[in-house]
Amino acid sequence: MRPLMRADLHVHSSASDGTDPPAEVMRRAALAGLDVVALTDHDTVAGHAEARAAAGPVTLLPGMELSCRLDGRSRGVPGGIRVSSPRGWQSLHMLAYLFDPGQPMLAAELTRIRDDRVLRARAMVDRLADLGVDVSWEQVAAIAGQAVVGRPHIARAMAASGVIASPREAFTRDWIADGGRAYVDRYALDPVRAIGLVRAAGGVTVLAHPRAGRDTRVTDQQITRLAAAGLAGLEVFHPDQSDVERARLLALASDLGLVATGGSDDHGSLTGYRLGCETTSAGAYQDLLSRVPGSPA
Write out the residues near Zn ion by the rule CB under 5 A: 65, 93, 208, 265
Smallest distance, Å, CB 219 to Zn ion?
A: 17
C-alpha triplet 236, 239, 244: angle, nearest 5°? 55
Q: Which of 276, 33, 46, 60 is nearest to 144 (CA)?
A: 46
Nearer to Zn ion, 28 or 93 (CB): 93
What residues pair up with 67 in beta bridges, in sequence order?
93
The side-by-side arrangement of strands in the sheet containing 89-97 is 7-11, 36-39, 59-71, 89-97, 204-207, 233-237, 259-262
Smallest distance, Å, CB 133 to Zn ion?
A: 28
Nearer to Zn ion, 32 or 208 (CB): 208
- CB-CB contact of 221 with 197 (8 Å): no
Contacts of 3 (CB under 8 A, 6+ apart): none
Nearer to Zn ion, 128 or 237 (CB): 237
Smallest distance, Å, CB 66 to Zn ion?
A: 10
For helices 137-144 and 104-130, angle between their N-to-C axes, nearest 10 degrees: 130
Distances (CA, A) of 43 to 5, 65, 280: 28, 6, 22
Residue 216: phi and psi, rounded to 5, are: -120, 30
Nearer to Zn ion, 202 or 239 (CB): 239
Nearer to Zn ion, 20 or 265 (CB): 265
Smallest distance, Å, CB 128 to Zn ion?
A: 25
- CB-CB contact of 166 with 183 (8 Å): no
Smallest distance, Å, CB 2 to Zn ion?
A: 27
Nearer to Zn ion, 265 or 287 (CB): 265
E strands, 157-252, are 204-207, 233-237
Smallest distance, Å, CB 96 to Zn ion?
A: 12
